[in-house]
């Protein structure tokens, strides 16, 4: 089926153009720095450091590592996929493909599946690497790592679908500006919501929720962080940056799933109807 041929060629493109390898090498660099940081932190603990404080510090460092992986994954998703439809439409490359005996939705969905496969590998390797480094250097493991990885992957797929949606309308550059801008909005909204949890500010919380409704990626991360972090997190406020002061509800995940499906459906409909 041509859908799977398109998925395979998209996956191969990432490998052949060294996108995936470059991202993984950069990710390996991050893991090395993360491991060294953990190692030095372990060395800096004195025998008098209370075990509870040690645990809170290392737990906080693990969450920072996971958050960095999450950011890297979303940014890589946007940078690698922003050109795939927009660029091929602008350059006319899509014409030789779109005249083949397959409906256009198979082109779009095939490419989308190719990226989904690439992102799955990236998230598993990067999150798995971070968890392995934290476990081997500091003996720390997150709670529910599989669920956390699934949510980070879900967040990337949302960003991917938005890239595809706007890629059927706009040029590569405009598409990138829009999607990065939306993720920036979500990022800011997430932190505003988090801050509102400290002070119980309902208006601040409302701004954050609206931002999350516009782009739910950061809300999905905060849910992932909540599921992965230690139940003792937040006991010491200075290490509680990911704590559940303002936790996105399971309904937000349902909303994010519907958001993803609608984005993908609108992308398919518009790609199907537009002139190439």
Residues that bind another protein (CB under 8 A): 2, 5, 9, 13, 16-17, 91-93, 95-103, 273, 275-276
Residues 183-211: b if buried by 16+ CB within 10 A, e if exposed: bebbbebbbbbbebbeeebeebbeebbeb
Rounded CA-CA distance 238/96 in Å is 57
Least separation in angstroms between CB 79 and another protein: 17
Residue 117 burial (CB < 10 Å; 0-12/13-18/19+)? middle
Least separation in angstroms between CB 96 and another protein: 6
Identity of the residue, 104 or 222, whose beta carbon is nearer to another protein in the bound complex: 104
Least separation in angstroms between CB 78 and another protein: 21
Least separation in angstroms between CB 88 and another protein: 9
Contact between 192 and 127 (Cβ < 8 Å): no
Least separation in angstroms between CB 90 and another protein: 10
Least separation in angstroms between CB 24 and another protein: 18
Identity of the residue, 2 or 41, whose beta carbon is nearer to another protein in the bound complex: 2
Identity of the residue, 88 or 229, whose beta carbon is nearer to another protein in the bound complex: 88
**213, two tokens:** 């409704």
Identity of the residue, 7 or 149, whose beta carbon is nearer to another protein in the bound complex: 7
Identity of the residue, 84 or 130, whose beta carbon is nearer to another protein in the bound complex: 84
DSSP letter, residue 16: H
Residue 167: how many other CB atoms lie within 10 Å? 30
Helix (H, G, I), strand (E, B) or coil at 205: helix
Alpha helices in the chain (DSSP H): 2-16, 19-44, 51-81, 86-91, 93-98, 104-138, 145-167, 172-199, 202-214, 217-228, 250-273
Identity of the residue, 92 or 231, whose beta carbon is nearer to another protein in the bound complex: 92
């Amino acid at each position: 089926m041509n859908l799977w041929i398109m998925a395979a060629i998209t996956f191969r493109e990432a490998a052949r153009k060294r996108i995936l390898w470059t991202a993984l090498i950069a990710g390996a660099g991050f893991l090395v720095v993360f491991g060294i940081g953990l190692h030095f932190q372990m060395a800096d603990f004195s025998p008098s450091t209370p075990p509870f404080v040690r645990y809170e510090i290392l737990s906080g460092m693990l969450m920072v590592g996971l958050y960095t992986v999450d950011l890297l994954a979303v940014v890589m998703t946007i940078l690698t996929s922003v050109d795939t439809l927009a660029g091929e439409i602008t350059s006319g490359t899509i014409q030789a493909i779109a005249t083949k005996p397959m409906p256009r939705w198979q082109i779009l969905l095939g490419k989308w599946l190719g990226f989904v496969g690439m992102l799955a590998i990236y998230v598993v390797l990067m999150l798995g690497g971070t968890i392995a480094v934290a476990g081997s250097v500091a003996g720390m493991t997150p709670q529910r790592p599989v669920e956390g990885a699934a949510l980070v992957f879900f967040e990337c797929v949302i960003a991917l679908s938005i890239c595809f949606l706007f890629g059927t309308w706009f040029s590569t550059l405009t598409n990138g500006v829009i999607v990065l801008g939306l993720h920036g909005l979500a990022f800011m909204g997430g932190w505003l919501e988090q801050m509102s949890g400290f002070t119980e500010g309902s208006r601040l919380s409302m701004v954050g929720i609206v931002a999350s409704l516009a782009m739910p990626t950061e809300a999905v991360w905060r849910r992932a962080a909540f599921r992965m972090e230690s139940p003792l997190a937040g006991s010491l406020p200075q290490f509680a940056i990911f704590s559940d002061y303002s936790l996105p509800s399971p309904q937000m995940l349902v909303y994010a799933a519907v958001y993803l499906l609608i984005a993908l459906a609108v992308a398919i409909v518009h790609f199907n109807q537009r002139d190439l």
